[in-house]
Chains A and B, each alone.
Chain A
Amino acid sequence: MSAFPAASALPLVVAVPLLGAAVLAVAGRRLPRVAADAVAVAFAGTAAAGALLAAAGWARGAGGAGGARGSAYAVQWLGGWRPGRGGGTGIAFVGDPLSLGLAALVSLLVIAVLAYSWRYFEEPPLPPGSPGTAGAAGRSGAFPALVLLFQASMSGFCLTGDLFDAFVFFELMGVVAYALTGLRVEEPRPVHGALAFGVVNSLGGYALLLGIGLLYARTGELGLAQLGRRLDHGGGPDALVLAAFVLVTAGLLVKAAAVPFHFWLPDAHAVAPTPVCLLLSGVMVELGAYGAFRVYWTVFAGSGGVPPEAATRTFLTVGVLTALLGAVMCWRQRHLKRLLAFSTVAHGGLFAVGAGVLSADGTAGTALYVLAHAGVKAALFACTGILLDRYASVDEHRLYGRARELPLVGGMFLLGGLALCGLPPFGTSLGKAIAEEAAGRQLPWLTGVFVLVSALTGGAVLRAGLRVFAGVGPRPRATAAETAGTERTHTGARNRDRGTDRHRERDPDRGRDGVDGGAERTPGDEVPETGGPLRRIPATMLLVPAALLAAALAVGLVPQLAAAAGRAGRLFAAHGPYAAAVLDGRAAHGSSPPAVGWTGTGAALGLASTALGAGLALLAVRGPLPEALDRVLGPLRRLQSGHIGDYVAWTTAGLALLAALAAPGTVLGR
C-alpha cells in the first residue's frame, strides 16, 4: 500500500458506502436478511478501514499527494484539479487529525449500528403483493442502504475543504436523516417528528447557502482556504462579512441543535428508530458544531473575518444557553429517549463552549469529549432500545422496577450515566476536564456551567436507571389518566397495526392551557422495533453498548489518543497554516501542540460533578420535586410545543440573535 498515498483514500471513504447503498437498494430486498446485513457491514467496514488507514497515514507523517512530505494535512484535489498560479477551480478533500478522526468515528459508529440492528431490528415491512416481494410480505431493504448513505454524507462533510460541497453533504445528511427518522410511518409521532426535523434543517441549509452566496459575491471563491485568504486580503470586516458569518454559522448551528435552533432534536430523537438515534445523537449533531468551528477557523478567523472577541461572545452565549436549557429540560423528562435527546442538546452546548473559547486546548478537549460522548450516548440509546423492545415502553415511571431482571443492561445504563456525569477515567471526564479548564481560563464561572450541566444530565440518567433497573425509591406517583391508560396498553402494544398514541389530545386547547402542558402527560407506550417484544436479549444488542462504553473508557485511558487530540486541536484552531497547506502544499510549522492529559483538578472536578449528579438522582427518586420549581420550569417546557410554526419563528429569532451577538466589535463600535 505504500504506493497508494493516504490522501488518495479520502474520497473513497465517501464513495465506498455509496456503492454499497446502490447495491443494497437493488439487491437488499431480494437477498436474505443476513446476507443483506453482511453486505452492508462489508461496505461500511471497508470505508472505516479507509478512514483509519488515512488517519494512520497521517500519524506516520506522510502528507500524501497534495501536501509536501511531513505536512500535517493530507490534501487531495478531486479530479486532479490542483490550483495553478491563478487559483484553482476544483474541490479539495482535506484530512487533518480532527476531520479524519471524526470520519473514522462515523464509520465505526455505523458498524456499531449495523451490528445492533443485526437480524433483530425490524425493517419497514411491506405488505404482500408489493413490487419485488414475490407475493409474500417482505422487507423493503432500504434501511441498510439509507444507513450507508448516512455514513457517506457524514464522512464527506468531515473531509471536504469546500464550503459549497459541505452544503451538499449537509443536505444529503438531512435528507437521509429525515427518511430514517420517519421510517416507522405506521405510528403517528415519527412522521410528525421527521417533518419538524425536515423543515427546520432545510431552513438551516438555505441560510447556509445564502451565506455562501454572499461570501462568493465578496471573494469569488468557494474553497475554505481560498475564502479565508481572500477575505484577509480585503481589509477589515464589514456588514457583508458579518451577514455571511451569521447566515453560515446559523445554518450549521441548526444541525448542532444550538438554542434556539434546537427544537427539532428532541422531537426527532424521541421518535426515530433506536439504531438511528445512535447516529443522530452520537455524531450527526456534533458534526454541526464541527462545521461551524471549521468554517470559523478557516474562513473567518483572519484579519478580514470576524474578530475573535465577537466570535467567542457569539459561541459562548449560544453554548451556555444551550447547555443550561438542555440540562434543565433533560432533568424534566421521563420519556427515556427524550431525556437522552435533551442531554445531547446540553452536551452540544458544552461542546460549543469548549471550542468557543477559540484556543487549541479547548478544541482538543472538546474533540476528546465528542469522541467519548459518542460512545457513551450511543451506549445509553442502545440500552434504552433494549428496554423498548422488551417492555414496549421507555417511560421512566411505567418501567419502575420492571427491568430488575436485566442486571447487565442496568449496569451498563448506570455506568453510562456516571460517564455522562464525568466520572474519571472515562473519556468524557478527560475531555470535559480539558475543555472546562480552557473555558475557565477565559471566564471562571464557565467551569461551574460544565460541572452543573454534566451533573444534571448524568444525574437524570442515573435517576431513571435507578428507578427502572433497581426500583429504588417509592413507586412514582401516577396520575389518574395514566392508570387508565396502562390497562389498555398491554394488549395494544403488540398490535402493530393500531395507532399507539393513546394520549394524544383531541382538543387542541386543552393541553395548551392545562397546567401540565405536555410534559407530565405520559408519552404513550411504544411499539417494539424488533417485530414483537423480545423474550431474550440477543447477544449483538448487548455487545454493542458494552463495546461502546469500553471505547469511551479507552478514550480516557490511552495517552496516545490524548496526545493526538492535542495535535488535532492545534491544527484545527489554525487559520494561516491550513490555507498554506491546502493551497501552497507547505508543511505547517507552528507552535507546539498543547499538553493534553489528566490533571489533579480535572479529575477532582469530574468526581465532584459525579457526586453532585448521583446526589441529585438519589434525592429525586425519593419523591417529586417541589411544586414551586415546576411552576418556574413550566414556561420553559411549553416552548417545546411540537408546532412547526413556532420552530420556524424561533429559528428566525436565532438568526437575529446571532446577528446581535456578533455585530458589536465587528461593524458596531469599531
Chain B
Amino acid sequence: MTRRGRLRLFLLAALVLAAGYAVACLDLPPFGGDRHPYGDRAVHAALARRTANAVASVNFDQRAMDTLGEETILFAAVLGAVVLLRRTAGEARTEPEPARVSAGVRRLGLALLPVALLVGLYVVAHGNVTPGGGFQGGVVVATALHLLYVAADYRALERIRPVSRYELGDAAGEFAYTMTGVCTALAGPAFLANVLPLGTFRALASAGTVVLLNAAVGMEVACGVVVLLATFLDQAVEIADAPGGPRSADGAPEEEPT
C-alpha cells in the first residue's frame, strides 16, 4: 500500500471505531461510581487473610495464578532477550574505555546507590502491608545497581554484575513461585493455596504465603531486569558489528563509494 492509502484505510476504520467506542462509553457506569462487587469481595477476603495491602492479596493470594503467568512472561522475555541479543559469530567485543566522571557525580552516585538499594529492598519486604511489593521493589533494586554505571563506569558495573549469577536468580525466583504452587497442590488443599500461618494483621510476617511469593517475585524481577538491561547495555556498549560494518544485502561488506 502507498503511505496515503494506508493512512486513508486507517482513518476510515478509526472513525468507525471512535464512534462506536464513544457510544459504548455512554453505557458505562459513570466514573467514580459505587458498584464494585468483585472489589468489595476482594477487600473482604484480603482482610480475612490478614493482608493489609488488598492489592497484594489479590496479586499473590486470590489471583496468584495471574502473577505466576506475569512472572513467567518476564522470565520468558529475559530468556528471549538474552537469546535474541546474543553476540553472533563475526561480531567483535570491544573493551569499553574507562570513563572520566566528575568527582561530584561520582560521590552523588555512590551515596545514592546504597540508599536506592535499601529503598528497593524495603519496598519488596513491605509488599504485604504497604503499597509496593516484589515487582516495584525489584525494579528499583535493579535500576539502583545501574547507578554505578553513572557514577563510575561500565567496567565497575560489570564487576558487581556477573550476569550468569543474575540469570540463576531469575530462574530461581520463577522456580520458587511455581514450586510453592506445586507443593500446596500435592500436599495441601489446592494449587497456590495460602497454607502458612497468617500471622498478625499489618505485621511484616502477616498474610501467609503472600510473603513467600512476594519475595520470589522480588528476586526474579530484580535479577531479571538486571539481565535485561545487561543484554541491552552489552549491545550498546560492548558488541561491535562485524568488521566492515553491517552486512549488506549481498552478504558481503559493502564496497566503498567511488
Q: Do chains A and B touch in the complex (CB under 8 A)?
A: yes
Q: Which residues of B contact A500 (CB under 8 A)?
A: 251
Q: Which interface residue of B58, B66, B91, B247 has the most chain A CB atoms within 10 A?
A: B66
Q: Which residues of A contact B145 (CB under 8 A)?
A: none
Asked if A557 CB lies within 8 Å of chain B CBs, one says no
User: A76-B190, A220-B38, A239-B20 are contacts. A21–B75 as well, Cβ < 8 Å?
Assistant: yes
User: A8-B185, A18-B178, A655-B17 are contacts. A172–B72 as well, Cβ < 8 Å?
Assistant: yes
User: A25-B167, A89-B63, A655-B17 are contacts. A217–B28 as well, Cβ < 8 Å?
Assistant: yes
Asked if B103 CB lies within 8 Å of chain A CBs, one says no
Cα–Cα distance between A176 and B78 once the two chains are bound (Å): 10
- B55-66 Cβ-contact flags toward A at 8 Å (1 or 0): 000100111111
Asked if B240 CB lies within 8 Å of chain A CBs, one says no
Task: Select A175's contact among B27, B38, B58, B73, beta carbons within 8 Å.
Answer: B73
A240–B247 CB distance below 8 A: no
Asked if A81 CB lies within 8 Å of chain B CBs, one says yes
A113 to chain B, nearest CB (A): 17
B27–A498 CB distance below 8 A: no
A88–B251 CB distance below 8 A: no
A641–B190 CB distance below 8 A: no
A239–B24 CB distance below 8 A: yes
Q: In residues 44-100 of chain A, which contact B (Cβ within 8 Å)?
A: 65, 76-81, 86-91
- A196-230 Cβ-contact flags toward B at 8 Å (1 or 0): 00000000000000000010111011100000000
- A348-361 Cβ-contact flags toward B at 8 Å (1 or 0): 00000000000000
Q: Which residue of B lies closest to A223 (CB)?
A: B38
User: A11-B191, A79-B62, A91-B65 are contacts. A641–B1 as well, Cβ < 8 Å?
Assistant: yes
B245 to chain A, nearest CB (A): 12
Task: Select A220's contact among B23, B36, B69, beta carbons within 8 Å.
Answer: B36
Asked if A465 CB lies within 8 Å of chain B CBs, one says no
Task: Select A652's contact among B10, B70, B83, beta carbons within 8 Å.
Answer: B10
Q: Which residues of A contact B171 (CB under 8 A)?
A: 22-23, 25-26
B20–A659 CB distance below 8 A: yes
Cα–Cα distance between A162 and B63 once the two chains are bound (Å): 10
Q: Which residues of A contact B45 (CB under 8 A)?
A: 81, 89
Cα–Cα distance between A22 and B36 once the two chains are bound (Å): 38
Q: Which residues of A contact B69 (CB under 8 A)?
A: 153, 156, 165, 168-169, 171-172
A656–B247 CB distance below 8 A: no
Cα–Cα distance between A435 and B64 once the two chains are bound (Å): 39
Asked if A650 CB lies within 8 Å of chain B CBs, one says yes
- A633-670 Cβ-contact flags toward B at 8 Å (1 or 0): 00000110101011011101101100110010000000
Task: Select A653's contact among B9, B24, B84, B247, beta carbons within 8 Å.
Answer: B9
Task: Select A499's contact among B1, B24, B185, B248, beta carbons within 8 Å.
Answer: B248
Cα–Cα distance between A182 and B83 once the two chains are bound (Å): 9
A220–B37 CB distance below 8 A: yes
Q: Which residues of A contact B7 (CB under 8 A)?
A: 649
A79–B21 CB distance below 8 A: no
Cα–Cα distance between A160 and B68 once the two chains are bound (Å): 13
Cα–Cα distance between A94 and B162 once the two chains are bound (Å): 43
Asked if A490 CB lies within 8 Å of chain B CBs, one says no
Q: Which residues of A contact B23 (CB under 8 A)?
A: 239, 243
Q: In residues 155-213 of chain B, which contact A (Cβ within 8 Å)?
A: 162-164, 167-168, 170-172, 174-175, 178-179, 181-182, 185, 189-194
19 A-B pairs in the complex with CB atoms less than 8 angstroms apart? A11-B181, A23-B171, A23-B175, A76-B190, A76-B191, A78-B190, A79-B192, A90-B62, A152-B72, A168-B65, A220-B35, A220-B36, A221-B37, A238-B27, A243-B21, A496-B89, A499-B250, A649-B9, A649-B10
A503 to chain B, nearest CB (A): 9
| Pairs of residues from A and B, 7 with the lowest C-beta to C-beta distance, nearest first | A179-B80, A243-B24, A168-B69, A11-B191, A498-B251, A240-B27, A22-B175
B227 to chain A, nearest CB (A): 10
Q: Which residues of A contact B168 (CB under 8 A)?
A: 26
Asked if B79 CB lies within 8 Å of chain A CBs, one says yes
Cα–Cα distance between A220 and B168 once the two chains are bound (Å): 40
A299 to chain B, nearest CB (A): 15
Asked if B105 CB lies within 8 Å of chain A CBs, one says no
- A223-260 Cβ-contact flags toward B at 8 Å (1 or 0): 00000000000000011101110100000000000000
Cα–Cα distance between A498 and B90 once the two chains are bound (Å): 9
Cα–Cα distance between A532 and B168 once the two chains are bound (Å): 32
Q: Which residues of B contact A378 (CB under 8 A)?
A: none
Asked if B236 CB lies within 8 Å of chain A CBs, one says no
A246–B248 CB distance below 8 A: no
B80–A78 CB distance below 8 A: no
B50 to chain A, nearest CB (A): 16
Interface with B: A120-128, A339-347, A421-429, which one?
Answer: A120-128
B86–A185 CB distance below 8 A: yes
Asked if B6 CB lies within 8 Å of chain A CBs, one says yes
Q: Label chain B's interface by main secondary structure.
A: helix
Q: Identify the B interface with A (CB < 8 A).
A: 1, 3, 6-7, 9-10, 12-14, 16-17, 20-21, 23-24, 26-29, 35-39, 41-42, 45, 58, 61-66, 68-70, 72-73, 75-77, 79-84, 86-91, 93, 162-164, 167-168, 170-172, 174-175, 178-179, 181-182, 185, 189-194, 242, 247-252
B62–A89 CB distance below 8 A: yes
Q: Identify the A interface with B (CB < 8 A).
A: 8, 11-12, 15-16, 18-19, 21-23, 25-26, 65, 76-81, 86-91, 124-127, 129-132, 140, 142, 145-146, 149, 152-153, 156, 160, 162, 164-165, 168-169, 171-172, 175-176, 178-180, 182-183, 185-186, 191, 214, 216-218, 220-222, 238-240, 242-244, 246, 492, 495-502, 504, 506, 638-639, 641, 643, 645-646, 648-650, 652-653, 655-656, 659-660, 663
Known: A23-B171, A221-B38. 8 other contacts (CB 8 A): A15-B182, A22-B178, A79-B191, A179-B81, A179-B84, A497-B90, A655-B17, A656-B16
Cα–Cα distance between A171 and B66 once the two chains are bound (Å): 11
A89–B1 CB distance below 8 A: no
A78–B167 CB distance below 8 A: no
Q: Which residues of A contact B83 (CB under 8 A)?
A: 124, 140, 142, 146, 179, 183
Q: Which residue of B lies closest to A183 (CB)?
A: B83
Q: Which residues of B contact A499 (CB under 8 A)?
A: 247-251
User: A87-B37, A499-B247, A659-B17 are contacts. A81–B62 as well, Cβ < 8 Å?
Assistant: yes
A130–B84 CB distance below 8 A: no
Q: Which interface residue of B35, B41, B80, B249 has the most chain A CB atoms within 10 A?
A: B80
B28–A149 CB distance below 8 A: no
Cα–Cα distance between A241 and B64 once the two chains are bound (Å): 28
Q: Which residues of A contact B70 (CB under 8 A)?
A: 168
Cα–Cα distance between A140 and B82 once the two chains are bound (Å): 9
Q: Which residues of A contact B72 (CB under 8 A)?
A: 18, 149, 152-153, 172
Cα–Cα distance between A414 and B36 once the two chains are bound (Å): 58
A129–B250 CB distance below 8 A: no
A80–B189 CB distance below 8 A: yes
Q: Which residue of A lies closest to B37 (CB)?
A: A220
B185–A218 CB distance below 8 A: no
Q: Which residues of A contact B189 (CB under 8 A)?
A: 80
B37–A646 CB distance below 8 A: no
Q: Which residue of B lies closest to A180 (CB)?
A: B80
Task: Select B13's contact among A11, A22, A23, A653, beta carbons within 8 Å.
Answer: A653
Cα–Cα distance between A12 and B181 once the two chains are bound (Å): 9
Q: Which residue of A lies closest to B189 (CB)?
A: A80
A78–B65 CB distance below 8 A: yes
Task: Select B80's contact among A176, A239, A643, beta carbons within 8 Å.
Answer: A176
Q: Which residues of A contact B251 (CB under 8 A)?
A: 492, 495, 498-500, 502
A131–B17 CB distance below 8 A: no
Q: Which residue of B lies closest to A157 (CB)?
A: B69
A12–B75 CB distance below 8 A: no
A79–B76 CB distance below 8 A: no
